[in-house]
Amino acid sequence: MAPQATSVRVILTGVRSTTHLVYAASWLRTLLGTGVPVEVVVLDVGAGFGHARVDEVQVRHYLPDDPAMTLTTRVLPEHWLVAPGVERVLLSIGAPGTRAWSRLVLAGRGRRPGVVVVDEGLGSFGDVRARREAYRREGGRGPWPAVRAAVVSTGHHVLTGLHWSLYRRAEQGWEVVPEVAEEFRLRVDGSARVPGAAVYLTQPWPDIGVMSERAYLDHLSAVRDACARAGLELLLRPHPSESPSRYQDFALTAGTGPAELDREVTQASVVVGSNSTALLNLAAVHGTRAARVTAPALTPLEVALTERQRTLLDTFLPPPVSVDGLPSALRIQWSDGRA
């Protein structure tokens, strides 16, 4: 923070899920700890993928409630763009919001704002190739995914002043950053379920063309049978972007928010899933016992993982297994939890 600043004005961009708000909240809470008044504008409220729309109620719930912080979610007031004695910070999810950055620079007659980037999830540990493939899975066609990935990656490397991340590399590998992890622990809510349940974290694979809906439901049926052989009831936790109606033939968890913030999930006997941010965070932040299960249709995604993503997953999660190997993996995890 600038030495002469009497307050800080923060422009938050790129929020596409409530989990993004938790990452942002951890940095804002640290900023508030300096004792300087903080004003926050959240842009693009209402954006998101599928059913994962972030509204103003969620913004106000997940960001810090502090008398030293004011919050608006409507527009970027003109007086915010430049003011004497006020430090401007662009707080972005995944990569700097280049439109907001350009507007701040122009208004400040070339004076750049501070730029803080927080995690968007596992994708934050990828590279330009991983971003390109992610944009293609989201529906990008032609050269646009490659161009967009190059622009975003370049902007991230050139503009970012601070990468505020849940994970950092240390001499012995990856470790959890306490200040960020504490925000997740602070937000855990709900009731724990009695032991004996395996919670599967679904992914919107049919929506992005990874596998057909029928193939995915068949895969989940096989997972349910494998859990039963291990003496566990299977509950599905639909991804926030999905409609739960897809899984009408399965038992579901009660909650619908981020899995990492739901005590029913964090304290489940075992949490099962593929290579997902939520599964990683549950194991690394909460110490939840986890099992990774794969399928042939997911092989291209696993091959596409970068070295940083692969080593991060392997640090906190057990090796992936096929559905046939899942009962043994579940028995090991569950028995360890009961010991």
User: What does the pLDDT look like over 263-309, one tens digit per residue?
Assistant: 999 999 999 999 999 999 999 999 999 999 999 999 999 998 999 99
Q: What is the pTM of this model?
A: 0.88
Quick check: 24 and 16 in contact, CB under 8 A? Answer: no
d(CA 239, CA 236): 9
Q: Summarize pLDDT for 159-172 with one digit per residue, the tens.
A: 678 999 999 998 88
For residue 293, the cross-strand partners are 321
pLDDT of residue 173: 85
CA 249 and chain centroid, separation: 27
pLDDT of residue 149: 46
Quick check: 256 and 218 in contact, CB under 8 A? Answer: no
Q: Where in the chain is the domain with CATH 3.40.50?
A: 7-165, 197-338
- Side-chain-facing half-sphere of 143: CA atoms under 13 Å: 2
Q: Which residues of the chain have pLDDT under 70?
A: 1-5, 46-52, 75, 77-80, 109-110, 126-159, 334-339
Question: Options 3.90.228, 3.40.50, 3.40.1000, 2.40.160; which CATH number does 197-338 get?
Answer: 3.40.50
Torsion angle of the four alpha carbons 105, 13, 89, 35, in this order, in degrees rounded to the nearest 10: 160
Report the topology of domain 7-165.
Rossmann fold (3.40.50)
The helix or strand, by DSSP H or E, that contains position 163, with its residue range, turns out to be: strand 162-164
Which residue, chain included where needed, has tokens 């059913």? 51
For residue 164, the cross-strand partners are 118
